[in-house]
Amino acid sequence: GNSVTQMEGPVTLSEEAFLTINCTYTATGYPSLFWYVQYPGEGLQLLLKATKADDKGSNKGFEATYRKETTSFHLEKGSVQVSDSAVYFCARGAQGGSEKLVFGKGTKLTVNP
Amino acid sequence: EAQVTQNPRYLITVTGKKLTVTCSQNMNHEYMSWYRQDPGLGLRQIYYSMNVEVTDKGDVPEGYKVSRKEKRNFPLILESPSPNQTSLYFCASTSRQGGGTEYTFGSGTRLTVV
């Protein structure tokens, strides 16, 4: 099938804790992979992306590495802040002739001071 | 500034009253799409358009219509809204670049059907 499975939330951490949100995908071939973030009351923002195997996307202290062997794209951050509280979506990009983004169900992160 | 503009941001309507959510992009992209976001379900594609006058169903098209009369605009039409269409809607515009596909999202439209 064509799907994206990400860690179910909600996730609650203390400030400066280490964050991992797991994401695995199914696909034929090697699509681009994305992490989007949605802050409370706002729209979707692209957080980071990777376009080919072994690429590492990074932004705002977040990182994710495209692992074709494990079909994974786990999101990590070494030290979270209260301002990182948001919903995070993993997504798989276009396959074949379709430009459709396939999203995971989202993981809500709350970071407490 | 490259952007996707959706209107309105918030809308409360009654069952059966036709409504249109507008979407416009200024990047000359050919591919545009609509998604709905629901808790625990993530974002699901409603309809997409590969180019002017070319539209097709996504994963959850029931109850929706779209049109693409010109490249920049891709309105979402609910002919007879029902409460199960209460959701957060996003329009997206897509371009293919050398390094992969770029997706730009609008700010979202929160629709409540009572």
Is the CB of residue B2 less than 8 Å from the CB of residue B26? yes
Mutate to test the interface with B, among A35, A51, A100 (most CBs of B within 10 A): A100
Q: Lowest-pLDDT range, A10-24, A40-54, A65-79, B86-100?
A: B86-100
pLDDT band at residue B97 using 50, 70 and 90 as cut-offs: low
Per residue, the 3-state secondary structure of chain A, as one string, reads CCCEEECCCCEEEECCCCEEECEEECCCCCCCEEEEEECCCCCCEEEEEECCCCCEEEECCEEEECECCCCECCEEECCCCHHHCEEEEEEECCECCECCCEECCCEEEEEEC
Per the structure block, which two tokens stand in for B98? 């050398």
pLDDT band at A41 (very low <50, low <70, confident <90, very high): confident
Which tokens belong to A18?
Answer: 């280490």
pLDDT at B65 over 90: yes
- Residues of chain A with Cβ-Cβ distance to B48 below 8 Å are 99-100
Collapsed DSSP state (helix, strand, coil) of residue B16 = coil
For B102, which residue in chain A has the nearest alpha carbon?
A93
| Record: contact B43-A94, CB cut-off 8 A | no
Q: What is the pLDDT of residue B49?
A: 94
Q: Is the pLDDT of residue A1 over 60?
A: no
- Judge whether B68 is closer than 8 Å to chain A, CB to CB: no
CB contact under 8 A, A99 and B101: yes
CB B55 within 8 A of CB B45: no
> How do residues B22-41 score in pLDDT, each as one tens digit?
999 999 999 999 999 998 88
